[in-house]
Amino acid sequence: MKVSIGADHGGFHLKEFLGERLSEAGYEVIDRGSFDPSPVDYPDIAFKVAADVLNGNRGILICGTGIGMCNAASRVEGVIAALCTNEYMGRMARLHNDANVLCLGARVMGDELAWDVTRAFLETGTMNDDKYIRRREKVARGCI
C-alpha cells in the first residue's frame, strides 16, 4: 500500500519518525514535505497529500494539533479526513467512516502513540453494512 505523508513545521519530527516506521513495515511512502522544520503553510502540504489520496493512496497529515490539517484536507472533495488521538479512533475512522486521511497532532501525542494510531488506521478495513453505507452517503451529499 502507498501512503502519502505530509506535515508542517509543527509536525516535521513526527512525520520523519512515522515515515521511517512505515517504510520498515513495508509501506511505500510518498513524502510531501515539509522537508525541514522551517515554517510552512499547512494547507499547501494538505492539498498535496489530498491529491495523492484522490489517486487511490492513503494519507497521513500532521501539524501541531492535527486540526488545521484536518480542516484543510476536508475541503477537498473525495477526501475524508479524521483527526484521531488514540487507536480506537483510528480504527473507527476507517471501519465506520471509510476515512482515507489520518490527521495527527505532534504536539499533543507522543511518537509511539502516533505509530499505534497509524497502524490501527492503516490495518483496518471498512464496514459495508447498510447502515454505515447510508450514513456515509448522507455525509457525502451534505445538506443545509
Confidence of residue 140 (pLDDT cuts 50, 70, 90): confident
Catalytic member of 9, 63, 84, 103: 63
Confidence of residue 136 (pLDDT cuts 50, 70, 90): confident
Catalytic member of 9, 70, 96, 143: 96
Confidence of residue 129 (pLDDT cuts 50, 70, 90): confident
What whole-number distance in Å separates Cα of residue 61 and Cα of residue 14?
10
User: In terms of DSSP H, where are the helices of 2-110?
Assistant: 12-24, 42-54, 67-74, 87-95
**For the domain 2-141, what is the CATH superfamily, name and number?**
Sugar-phosphate isomerase, RpiB/LacA/LacB (3.40.1400.10)
| 80 closest CA partner among 40, 41, 126, 112 | 126
Give yes or no: 9 in active site: no
Give the rounded percent of residues in the chain with a pLDDT score beyond 70.
99
What's the average model confidence in pLDDT over 98-123? 98
**Global pTM exceeds 0.85:** yes
Give yes or no: 96 in active site: yes
What's the average model confidence in pLDDT over 13-32? 98
Could you state, in order of their start, the residue ranges of all structural domains in the chain?
A: 2-141
